[in-house]
Amino acid sequence: MTTYLLRRFALGLCVLIVSMLLLFVLIYAVPGDPAAIALGPRASEAQKAFFREQMGLDQPLAMQAASFLWNLLHGDFGTDILSQRPVADLVFAALPRTVTLAVVGVIWAAAIGTPLGIWAALRPNTFIDWLIGVISTSVVALPAFLMAIYALILFAVMLNWFPAIGAGEPGDLLDQLHHLALPAFAIGVAWVGYIARLVRVSMLETLAQPHVRTYRSFGVSDLRIALRYVLPIAVVPVISVLGVGIGNLLSGAVLVEVVFSRPGLGSLAYDAVLSRNFPVLLGAVVVTTGLYVLANFLADALIAYLDPRLAEKG
């Protein structure tokens, strides 16, 4: 198990380094003066010179790549061009809001999607199974930001049940939850379908195993078998998908934040695009990539704990 986890950790680190190098190549492959392009046409000569010096643009390419990598892995993403604050401060201040949004979105989706998947798996090839299948397949590819706009129109503009913008008064938990409801709903819609389908398929696979037949021959009720013996095994693939899906989830959250004008990584990045504040964008990309790698490692670790056979296989 330890070797397995160490290997996954090393692999995650490699993935992080290669993706940073990929970013470097894409940024420096741009024709012309990177400083002028990154900072936009309104940047002053002094700002450009500062940027060049900060990014080490006067050094050989290999050195630039090395220092680029070194700085990023240190959490040094440079300085915000507008406020002159370290980018890392801005990004790490915004990150918890976005992660909260994403986590709440997935939790409500799992709370609805898991029972739906179980229900469908217990009634395979019936009308209810078909209906759950059609609904979950329909929602699976719906973009979260579109759900956000529709939810905003229906529940905030027309019905006026929920606030349309912002994240609520600081310190007022109830107000914050009130503001969180619609964005979290929008993010979770697609995941309800995704989780329901995964749980169904993986429940059906587990239900077909010999040990389940043994429980049945002992007279254990179907529902008890499903919840007590099958679900804990069937939930493993869902965890690994959640690990991989965190990237999608955060991408969805970024757009949803813009729709609801919620402070967070998405709004930070959006403002950075409008003001051509490249270091902030780079910082947001790097931190999110790190989060993805970390989430995948945690998912691997959790799976290894839940199903040690998988860790043995490598």
Partner 1 sequence: MTDQTAAAPRAVKAERHATLRRLLGTPTGAVASLVVAAFVIAALAAPLVAPYDPNAIDPINRMQGPSAAHWLGTDQLGRDLLSRIVFGTRTALYIALTGTGAALGVGMAMGMIAGLGGKILDSALVLLNDSIKSLPLVLFALALVTIYGASVPALIVIIAISMAPGYFRVVRNQVLVLNNADFIVAAQSMGASRLRLAATHMLPNLIGPILVLIAMDIPAVIGIESGLSFLGQGIQPPQSSWGNMLSEGYTYVRQAPHIAIAAGLPIVLSTIAFTFLGETLRDALDPRRAVRT
Does 73 sit near partner 1 (CB under 8 A)?
A: no
| Minimum distance from residue 137 beta carbon to partner 1 (Å) | 6
Among the listed residues 244, 305, 308, 312, the single contact to partner 1 using CB under 8 A: 244
Is residue 263 close enough to count as binding partner 1 by CB under 8 A?
no
Q: Is 47 in the site for partner 1 (CB under 8 A)?
A: no
Q: What DSSP letter does each residue of 277-311 carry, written as one string?
A: -HHHHHHHHHHHHHHHHHHHHHHHHHHHHH-HHHH
Q: What is the dihedral of CA 215, 219, 222, 227, to 10 degrees?
A: -50
Kindly tell me which residue out of 239, 248, 302, 307 binds partner 1, with binding defined by CB under 8 A. Answer: 248
Structure tokens, 78: 């440079």
Q: Which stretch binds partner 1 (CB under 8 A): 59-67, 223-231, 250-258, 303-311?
A: 250-258
Dihedral sign of CA atoms 120, 125, 131, 133 in order: positive
Q: Based on the shown chain and the rule CB under 8 A, indicate whether residue 23 belongs to the binding site for partner 1.
A: yes
Rounded to a whole number of angstroms, the minimum distance from the CB of residue 125 to partner 1 is 10
The string of DSSP codes covering 113-150 is HHHHHHHHHHSTTSHHHHHHHHHHHHHHT--HHHHHHH
* DSSP states of 60-106: -HHHHHHHHHHHHHTT---B-TTT--BHHHHHHHHHHHHHHHHHHHH
Q: Is 20 exposed, middle or buried (0-12, 13-18, 19+ CB in 10 A)?
A: buried
What is the C-alpha to C-alpha distance for residues 29 and 250, in angstroms, rounded to an integer?
Answer: 27
Taking CB under 8 A as the binding criterion, the range among 15-23, 42-50, 66-74, 79-87 that sits at the site for partner 1 is 15-23
How far is CA 61 from each of CA 15, 67, 138, rounded to the nearest angstrom?
21, 10, 48
Contact, 3 vs 306, CB < 8 A? Answer: no
In the list 44, 45, 60, 158, the residue contacting partner 1 (rule: CB under 8 A) is 158
Shortest separation between residue 113's beta carbon and partner 1, angstroms: 16
Structure tokens at 88: 């890392």
Residue 71 makes contact with partner 1 by CB under 8 A: no
Q: Do 148 and 262 touch, CB atoms closer than 8 A?
A: no
Q: How far apart are CA 118 and CA 210, in angstroms?
A: 19
Give the nearest distance from C-beta 16 to partner 1 in angstroms: 7
30 binds partner 1 (CB under 8 A): yes
Do 253 and 270 touch, CB atoms closer than 8 A? no
Look at the block and give the residue holding tokens 């299948």: 133
Q: How far is the CB of 259 from partner 1 (least distance, A)?
A: 7
- Which of 44, 45, 127, 157 binds partner 1 (CB under 8 A)? It is 157
Residue from 137, 209, 214, 221 binding partner 1 (CB under 8 A): 137
Would you count residue 13 as binding partner 1 (CB under 8 A)? no
Residue 305 found at the interface with partner 1 (CB under 8 A) = no
Binding pattern for the stretch 274-303 against partner 1, x by CB under 8 A and - elsewhere: --x-x--xx-xx--xx--xx--x-------
- Contact with partner 1 (CB under 8 A) among 103, 201, 306, 310: 201
Residues forming contacts to partner 1 in the complex (CB under 8 A) are: 11, 14-16, 18-19, 22-23, 26-27, 30, 34, 37-38, 134, 137-138, 140-143, 145-146, 149-150, 152-153, 157-158, 201, 204, 244, 247-248, 250-251, 254-255, 258-259, 265-266, 269-270, 272-273, 276, 278, 281-282, 284-285, 288-289, 292-293, 296
